[in-house]
Structure 1
Amino acid sequence: MKPSDYWNEVLKRDPRLSETCVPSRFQRRGQDADTAFDHNTRPLIRTVGQEQARLPEASPQIHLSSRENEVHSDRCQRYTVWIDGVGAWQLLIGRNFLVGAPTLESDEADISLLANISRRHATIQKIQEDWFIQAHQSTVVSGRSVGDRAVLRTGDEIQLGERVRLGFRIPSVLSSSAVVDFESHHRPSQSVNGIILMTDSCLLGPRQDYHVCCHDWPDLMILFVQDGQLRCRSRMPFRVDGEPARDIVTVTDGATVSGDEFRFRIEKMKTGR
């Protein structure tokens, strides 16, 4: 059975799941669902004909639909997320992400790497349902030289210049946001574990197919943008700067989000382009 057929069968059982479980790109263009899965992102329903089908582990109160939370601004907002006991990640919110070397000028790259590459080496872009890389200088994707622009797929390796290698992946079928991993030793000036390119939502929690896997967390925390503000939501009890939070809460620069078994802090980085 094709991946898109799995979701169709699920919706027949309970149409309400379209609000929480089914990626909006499948709702809009079901014919594209089959190309959105690979060996790392197989559907979580194995046998829809059985009485008990295994559904994605999402709370009915937590909306994951990328249609509702999709980022439309081309201007990149940059944050650092420090997660106790896990690590640090750059969280970049937008649809176009310039990759390059550091500069003292105001138009610093969104992904600024300490490496011998151009200040404007390549741009990673989300256009409608697909990810692309626009090459401004020497760029190779999974062994294929990029003359102008190439499609990025989960599992691709990006090589910039002769030595810089980055991994590209889309961990979850519930979000179109991507993760950039460091395959070579080249890093930003601020030490981080990886970079999240957030185009709708960012999933933090105990599963391997979340953007950041936090093994000891009891449940999922979602970061997303609404009305131009960064917000968070979870079915776990949590606090923001020590104040109890319920449902959707705005996360401001320097805010600390914590619960009985987790804690993270979000800081805004210097404004780029």
Structure 2
Amino acid sequence: MKLVEQVKSWWKGFCNSVRQESQRWHIVCTKCGKKKSVWESGGVRWKAAGNSHKLVYCSNCQKMVWAKMVYLPESSVGNASPTLETTVEEPNAASSPDESQSPATSGIRLWIDGVGCWRLLTADTIHIGGGVNAESAVADIVVQAPLSRSHALIERFGEDYSLTAKGSAKIGNEPVNGQVHLAACSEILLGDDVELRLEVPNQLSRSARLTCTSGHRFVDSSDGTILVKDHLFLGPSAGAHIHCPTWPAQLVLFLRGRELYCQGGDTLRINSEAMNAAHALQHGDVISGQDLRIRVEIES
């Protein structure tokens, strides 16, 4: 009898693990962005087994569509029975920056001669808001525009990005209610006239580029922000995250742990010294080479 009870206990734990894993994996329609957990869809998924895309019926599009499998580790894993539709909850006050908070994420600025200033952020959750100066900002990315101080947030789940609107927002011409999956190139409208573009320009990296296309400025005077996932490319090619048209070759930056490294090269120098091997970038570093110069500024 003792063995039977042990088997029953193990089986119960295994079933709970499968259910929780299936509730954390979501099917995201690539057409409309509608999200539903695998569990709610009547299936199971264990430790990322199976294909990254599946042909499913989307009740919003009312047709069969190819959908991506996305892992959401913070998803609800309660004991409720599966339902037909998924409801995405609005972020609560505990997860949103309040008026007394400073910007949630520090970053790195690259001052690139002949190109401009680009900001690098490595966090998986980035808040976007409006404001007039960086000192009073509560968001990670602040636009000089009449937006709420925490108007929207972009989240990265594995290889995918999503947008959660806390103020008025559209993707394309479709209003955003709650959380919506972002395609590799997404046009985002915040408020009445703030237009942003999120792009993943290179298939070899899941780092994304966020720029403002409506003429509004960021309060930190940057030209745009790179949401760094693994590594990013700078150079003259169309697939570069930061386009540097006059450079003779591509430069690669990559994350190792919590540090950003620059890949070494025969013609590269760091603070006027040869950089033949990868170098962990520090505040004030100057990367130089043939027709290129970058000053690194690490935000405190």
Does the TM-score normalized on the shorter chain lie above 0.5?
yes
Distance 1:201 1:194 in 2: 17
Query: How many angstroms does 1:106 deviate by?
Result: 7.3
For the 8 Å contact 1:76–1:95, the answer to whether it is kept is no
Q: Which of 120, 130, 154 is the aligned partner of 2:150? A: 120
Matched, 1:268 2:298: yes
Matched, 1:96 2:125: yes
Distance 2:239 2:253 in 1: 15
* SS at 1:77 equivalent: coil
Query: How many angstroms does 1:131 deviate by?
Result: 0.6
Q: Which of 187, 194, 203 is the aligned partner of 1:164? A: 194
Query: In structure 1, what residue type is equivalent to 2:278?
Result: I
Report 1:105-184 matches (<5 A): 108-184=138-214
Query: How many angstroms does 1:176 deviate by?
Result: 0.4
Q: 1:219-263 deviations in whole A, cap 9, x for unaligned?
A: 221112213111110444211111211221011112110012211
Distance 1:202 1:267 in 2: 17
Question: Unmatched 5+ residue regions in structure 1?
Answer: 1-27, 37-74
Corresponding residue pairs, total: 205
Task: Select the structure of larger CA radius of gyration.
Answer: 2
For the 8 Å contact 1:139–1:158, the answer to whether it is kept is yes
* SS at 2:110 equivalent: strand
Distance 2:195 2:266 in 1: 37
For the 8 Å contact 1:169–1:179, the answer to whether it is kept is yes
Query: How many angstroms does 1:135 deviate by?
Result: 1.0
Matched, 1:231 2:257: no
Query: How many angstroms does 1:188 deviate by?
Result: 1.1
Using CA pairs below 8 Å that are at least 6 residues apart, which structure has the higher relative contact order?
Answer: 1
RMSD of aligned residue pairs (Cα, Å):
2.4
For the 8 Å contact 1:78–1:110, the answer to whether it is kept is no
Q: 1:106 to 1:231 in 2, by over 3 A?
A: farther
Q: 1:170 to 1:261 in 2, by over 3 A?
A: same
1:203 is aligned to 233
Distance 1:119 1:207 in 2: 36
Distance 1:198 1:239 in 2: 23
Distance 1:197 1:157 in 2: 16
Q: Identity percentage over the alignment?
A: 32
2:29 is aligned to none
Question: Unmatched 5+ residue regions in structure 2?
Answer: 1-48, 55-65, 69-103
For the 8 Å contact 1:164–1:186, the answer to whether it is kept is yes
Query: In structure 2, what residue type is equivalent to 1:221?
Result: L
Distance 1:217 1:111 in 2: 28
Distance 1:29 1:225 in 2: 29
For the 8 Å contact 1:166–1:181, the answer to whether it is kept is yes
Query: Which stretch of the first structure deviates more once superposed, 216-225 or 144-153?
Result: 216-225
